[in-house]
Amino acid sequence: MSQPIPPMVSGALPVLGHALEFRSDRTALVRRGFEEHGKIFGIKLANQNVAILVGPEYHRTFFMETDKALGIQEPYSFLRSMFGEVLFLAPHEVYLEQRAVVLEAFRREKMLHYADVMQEVVQAWLDGLGDSGEMELVSEFVRLVQEVAGHCFLGREAHQQLGREFWDLYTDLAEGLDPLLPPNLPLPKFRRRDRAKAKMQGILEPIILERRQHPERYDDFLQDLINKRYPDGRLAEQDLIVNMLLGLMFAGHETTVGQAAWTIILLLQNPDYLRLVQEEIQQVAPDGVHIDPKRMTQLEHIAWAVREVERMRPSVDMLMRTVKEDLPVGDYVVPQGWLAQVTQDVAHNLPVLFEDPDTFDPLRYAPGRAEDKQDRFALIGFGGGIHKCIGMNFANMEMTVITALLFRQFDLELVTRHPQVERGLGASRPDKAVVRYRRRNP
């Protein structure tokens, strides 16, 4: 090993290293490391060394070496206790098989159907708001996005069979997220996680069994998943279907909630750009007009705002891999046994890539500027490489529908002037965001 290892950030404690700071404010820790050492540096989480890689040239190594010199399964073992060996939590060959199955959910015909379902579900929510009032965006969007995920992936009938109990159990499931502790410790939050998963399995299994017995009655993604055969002719096992549904619906709402809420918040905080959005809505999809695929692509100002939210308020602020063999990166080598990490919060704010990065400026993605096109790994809010989020287009379309329908029917005022980022061990969200609303045409 002729090259040096990454330099360590200051402030490590005996035995614990940076673990306490990582848990309480990992963004500040990473920013300090970037200021001290530049784009490659190390932190210590108890007895585990972690190399932080910042910038698209190193993001490329991170994503392109995944499943080669870098492993994705080990750092996310805490998710395996929730969802089993599904998708990226499974061995690579199994992942490729399962990925082909899940891609069925996002093929073009399905996406066209989802666009219709999204508008129906969002409109029903808007109709239920009344003509004026106040709402807390995050709590409202949790239920709304769950409704969208349930109707799209399960179909109306199965979604109604689940009931609120199923979705409320996701709270206990999510509270079991903890990348630092062994997932099988006898802690109350892990016991609640396991009880919640068992109850959710008990709710889903009779639905799957009935559909296996009467496949001709259904035509939706859940039935596609039940009917799908692997290349060797096998049908997917029931446990796999349950775990895949739990994982897909968790991912389908856990990360989208925060970014949908931040889209509304940042537009309200930037009225000049909001006027561009509202003018576009009136031109492309005025009140009462169904947003078909052509109109969806014409809502460019909303799409750019959603992308700017991905840059400024990513739901996931870090991704990790296990270093399986010594990995040269820049002037350093990351030794086997370390973890490698990319961090969106710092990488998305590099002035060399994004002009005035602290400013909400969706026009940076407009033709002629297109700052995100400088490098395919400049924006990594949805990951990259073969493990890039399969549901990215679904999430972006959902946020576009919510934004367009909400702003074309309501005038909104942000009561909570400066919502803050709430960072837990799961997806990031606004801490609290109360909005006052009034219907334009009661």
CA dihedral 170, 380, 121, 153 (to 10 degrees): -60
Quickly state the pLDDT bin for 144 (edges 50, 70, 90).
Answer: very high
Query: In this predicted structure, what is the pLDDT of residue 201?
Result: 92
For the chain, percent of residues with pLDDT exceeding 90: 67
Q: Supply the pLDDT for residue 425.
A: 60
Domain ranges across the chain:
19-439
Residue with tokens 């109990």: 165
Please give the pLDDT value at position 322.
97
Q: Summarize the confidence of residues 377-390 as an average pLDDT.
A: 92
Summarize the confidence of residues 113-129 as an average pLDDT: 96
Portion of the chain with pLDDT greater than 70, in percent? 99
pLDDT tens digits for range 169-203: 988 888 888 877 888 899 999 999 999 999 999 99
Closest CA to 343 of 283, 383, 301, 296: 383
Average pLDDT of the chain is 92
Question: Distance between CA atoms of 243 and 221, rounded to whole angstroms?
Answer: 15
CA angle at residue 180 from 178 to 183, to 5 degrees? Answer: 55
Report pLDDT for 163: 87
Binned at pLDDT 50, 70 and 90, residue 84 comes out as: confident
Rounded Cα–Cα distance for residues 97 and 252 (Å): 21
Helices 238-269 + 392-409 axis angle, to 10: 40
CATH architecture of 19-439: Orthogonal Bundle (1.10)
Dist CA 405 CA 420 (whole Å): 25
Transcribe 281-323 into DSSP letters. HHHHS-TT----HHHHHH-HHHHHHHHHHHHHS-S---EEEEE
Alpha carbons 112 and 106: distance in angstroms, whole number: 9
User: Encoding tokens for residue 212?
Assistant: 């296996």
pLDDT in tens, 336-372: 999 999 999 899 999 999 999 999 999 999 999 999 9
Give the model's pLDDT for residue 42: 98
Instruction: Go through 23-54 and write b for each residue having 16 or more CB atoms within 10 A of its CB, e for each that does not.
Output: eeebbebbbbbbeebebbbbbbbeeebbbbbb
Task: Provide mean pLDDT across the span 63-90.
Answer: 89
Residue 426 has pLDDT above 70, yes or no: no
DSSP alpha helices (H): ranges in 38-155? Answer: 56-64, 77-83, 92-102, 108-127, 137-154
Cα–Cα dist 231/101, whole Å: 11
Kindly indicate the confidence band of residue 96, based on its pLDDT and cuts at 50, 70 and 90.
confident
Could you tell me which residue, 160 or 53, shows the higher pLDDT?
53
More confident residue, 426 or 287: 287
The secondary element (H helix, E strand) that includes residue 430 is: strand 429-430
d(CA 247, CA 240): 10
What pLDDT shows up at residue 442? 52
Flag the least confident range among 311-325, 347-361, 421-435.
421-435
CA pseudo-torsion sign 117, 123, 129, 135: positive
Indicate the DSSP class of residue 105. Answer: G
Min mean pLDDT across 154-163, 249-258, 394-403 is at 249-258
Encode pLDDT of 16-39 as tens digits.
999 999 988 889 999 999 999 999
With tokens 């509270």, the residue in question is 175
| pLDDT at residue 1, as a whole number | 52
How far is 92 from 72, CA to CA, in rounded Å? Answer: 9
- CA distances to 95, 265, 339 from 58, rounded to whole Å, are 24, 32, 14
The one-letter amino acid at 283: Q
- In this prediction, residue 296 has a pLDDT band, given cuts at 50, 70 and 90, of very high
Between 255 and 379, the more confident residue is 379
